A and B are shown apart, each in its own frame.
Chain A
Amino acid sequence: QVQLQQWGAGLLKPSETLSLTCAVYGGSFTGYYWNWIRQPPGKGLEWIGEINHTGNSNHNPSLKSRVTISVDTSKKQFSLNLSSVTAADTAVYYCARTKGTYSASGPNDYWGQGTLVTVSS
C-alpha cells in the first residue's frame, strides 16, 4: 500500500520561503510523477507542479518563478519550495502521486495527509 507522508513549517511570515517535503512509502518511486496541490481555506484545489524521478519538473505558470520542486530518489522524497510568500499562499498543501508509470496524464491516486501553511505577520 502506497503512503505519502509530508512535513514542513506551518507558520511563515510574509516574504519567507515555504518548504515542504513528502516521503513515499510502500511502493515504487521510479517512473511516477509526483505532485504538489494546494487548497486555500474553504476554497478549491490548485495544482502547483510535478516532478519525476529524473528531476523533470513542471509547474503552474500562475506561481511564476517562485516555485522550485526537487527530488531525492535515494530517499524516495520530493520537496516544494515557494519563495516570497504572502497571505494569499495560506492553504493546505498536499503531495500526491500521478497514477500510471511514465505517464504525466493520469489522475492523482495517492495523497499525503495535507499540511496547513499559514502566512501571517
Chain B
Amino acid sequence: DIQMTQSPSSLSASVGDRVTITCRSSQSISRYLNWYQQTPGKAPELLIYGASTLQGGVPSRFSGTGSGTDFTLTINSLQPEDFATYYCQQSYSNPRTFGQGTKLEIK
C-alpha cells in the first residue's frame, strides 16, 4: 500500500492568514493526489484533484501544487468556513489511501 503522510497534524491560524499543508507519499504517485475538506458530522468534500485542479465551486483561495511524492495545499486569506479537517488522498493505485488529516483550528 502507498502510505500518505500529512503535516502538520494540527494547525492554529487566524482569519486572513495564509496556511500550507503538506502531503507526502511513500512512492511516486505522479499527480494522482486529491484534497478534501471535512467539517464535523459531514462527508468530505472534494477541493482539488490531479494535484492542482480546483473542483467546481471551490473558492480560488484554495490551491494545490506538487507531483511525484511531495504535495502542498495552500489556503490564502483564511475565511471562518475554512476551519475544518483536511485530507489528502492518492488515487494512483488501489487500495486508495488517505493521509491522517490536518485539523485547522482558529487561533
* Chain A residues close to B by CB (< 8 Å): 35, 44-47, 50, 58-62, 94, 96, 98-99, 104-109, 111-114
Contact = CB atoms under 8 A, between A and B. Distances in A.
Contacts of A106: 49, 91
Nearest to B53: A107
A47 B96 contact: yes
Given A44-B101, A46-B98, A47-B98, A112 B91 contact: no
Contacts of B45: 111
A109 B54 CA distance: 12
B87 interface: yes
Contacts of A47: 94-98
Interface string B32-43: 101010000011
B99 A105 contact: no
Interface in B13-54: 32, 34, 36, 42-46, 49-50
Contact of A107 (B1, B89, B97): B89
B100 interface: yes
A60 B95 contact: yes
B43 A112 contact: yes
Question: Which of A59, A108, A113 has the most B CB atoms < 10 Å from its CB?
Answer: A108
23 contacts: A35-B96, A44-B100, A45-B44, A45-B89, A46-B98, A47-B96, A59-B95, A60-B94, A61-B95, A62-B95, A99-B46, A104-B94, A105-B32, A105-B91, A105-B92, A106-B91, A108-B34, A108-B36, A109-B55, A111-B43, A111-B44, A112-B43, A113-B43
Contacts of B94: 47, 50, 58, 60, 104
Given A106-B49, A107-B46, 8 more contacts: A59-B95, A61-B95, A62-B1, A96-B43, A105-B91, A107-B91, A108-B46, A111-B44
Contacts of A104: 94
A44 B87 CA distance: 8
B66 to A, nearest CB: 15
Contacts of A46: 98
